[in-house]
Amino acid sequence: MSPSTLRLLGIVAVLVVVQWVLLPWFSWQSDKVTEINRQLTRLSERADVINSSSALLDEREALSASLGNLAVLSAPNNDGIELPLQQLITAKLTDYQLELESFEWGEPVDGDIAPLRARITIAGKTQDFIDWQNSLLDSQPWIAVEEFSFRRLDPRWFEMQDLTGDIVIRVIVGGEQ
């Protein structure tokens, strides 16, 4: 065999080794690295869940407390629940120097868990109204505001001190278990 033929056979042998040995080995190694990275990502996500378990437990306790407050207001068939709710909602109006003009309950809905809606009309200072609303929502997390509107009592466009405001709230009430 001539030296050029030996050189060509050597090149062919190198190409065969590259094609059938090195490329599959590199491909296998790349697949393994991808699999390890995927498993590390899953492990990291699980570690994040484990590390946030105290926050989840705190949130669970807060939700349990909210449900506990709702259970205090529960009544069989929800009959007669409106008056205690109205007293609870309007109890702090005098603390905020607000005057209750009207409190109207919407139509009752039948069912074990029923939303009650009330339209409350209040007169007073703008800031007192906002403070009362924030206090109500902070202390009673099961109350949700559906609508909020107000009218200035002073006809001057720049005077926002005194107002009459309407707020529509929704309370979800369930019967005793």
83 plus 165 within the same structural domain: yes
Q: 117 and 157 in one domain?
A: yes
CATH, residue 122 = 3.30.70.60
Helix (H) or strand (E) holding 125: strand 113-125
- Of 68-72, 97-101, 108-112, 131-135, the least confident: 68-72
Under the banding of pLDDT at 50, 70 and 90, the label for residue 37 is very high
Question: What's the pLDDT at 154?
Answer: 65
Q: Are residues 28 and 106 in the same domain?
A: no
Number of H helices, E strands in the chain: 5, 4
Strands (E), 20-176: 99-105, 113-125, 143-152, 162-174
Task: Using a pLDDT cut of 70, give the percent of the chain over it.
Answer: 81
> In this predicted structure, what is the pLDDT of residue 117?
86
pLDDT mean across residues, the chain: 81
Based on the fold, state whether residues 153 and 80 are members of the same structural domain.
yes
- Rounded to 10 deg, the angle between the 23-51 and 53-72 helix axes is 40
Amino acid in the structure at residue 88: L
> What residues make up the domain containing 142?
76-174
| 107 domain-assigned | yes
**Pair 165, 89 in one domain:** yes
Phi, psi for residue 155 in degrees, rounded to 5:
-70, -15
For residues 98 and 21, state if they share a domain.
Answer: no
Cα–Cα distances in angstroms (integers) from residue 110 to residues 45, 73, 161, 174, in the given order: 44, 17, 41, 11
Identify the DSSP state of 22.
Answer: I
Residue 78: its pLDDT value, please? 56
